[in-house]
Amino acid sequence: MNTVPGCESKPADLPPIRRLVIACGNTLRGDDGVAWHIAAQLDQVAAQTGDEIVVTQQFLPEHAEQISLADVVVFIDCSALTTAGCISSLSIDPAEQLPRILTHHLDPAALLRLALDLYGQIPLRRTLITVGGESFAMTEELSAAVRNAIPAATLAVQAALS
């Protein structure tokens, strides 16, 4: 097919990718607050990228709508099951079913199920980034291992978003 010079077709403008980060933890329980520290690092570039960053003490049913509107979602949390400072990145799917009680029992998979059930869609890419915790004592201080993991965990979240 021949085209007239100056009349080439332009690529279609695609809508921007909607990226959501949900950082969960309690900043008064030591390492459990690490997600808030990672979110603070991400917040510095979010204004330029348009990413939405939510910080919360627990995953809530109210987050389901935001999740349903995103193309990419990254959940950040502390893990009491892995070695302190160890960063894990897992692709997650919706839970098979919701817990009987929707408060204090939601995890990322349950939130995905709730978004799917209520709004009929979930992000194409869904990732959980965890940092292993060492101390969950009543303090605002992070352990050295967790504090030292923040830069690498921030990079892991940025990689999951890209």
- Has residue 87 been placed in a domain? yes
Examine the pLDDT at 10 and tell me if it is beyond 60.
no
Check residue 26 and give its pLDDT: 94
Check residue 15 and give its pLDDT: 72
Across-strand partners of 19?
Answer: 72
- Has residue 65 been placed in a domain? yes
Check residue 3 and give its pLDDT: 57
- To the nearest whole number, what is the mean pLDDT of the chain? 89
Residue 26 in tokens: 């309690």
Residue partners of 98: CB distance under 8 A and separation at least 6: 110, 113, 114, 117
User: Which of 13, 46, 35 lies closest to 108, judged by CA?
Assistant: 35
- Has residue 9 been placed in a domain? no
| Domain of residue 53, residue span | 19-142+149-161
Residue 49 or 115, more confident:
115
- Has residue 103 been placed in a domain? yes
Mean pLDDT of 40-52: 85
- Has residue 44 been placed in a domain? yes
- Has residue 100 been placed in a domain? yes
- Has residue 8 been placed in a domain? no
Mean pLDDT check: name the lowest of 34-48, 101-115, 130-144: 101-115
Q: Above pLDDT 70, what percent of the chain? A: 87
Check residue 82 and give its pLDDT: 93
Report the number of distinct structural domains present in the chain: 1
Mean pLDDT of 3-16: 62
DSSP E strands, the chain? 19-24, 52-56, 72-79, 87-91, 125-132
| CATH code for the domain in which residue 52 is found | 3.40.50.1450
- Has residue 63 been placed in a domain? yes
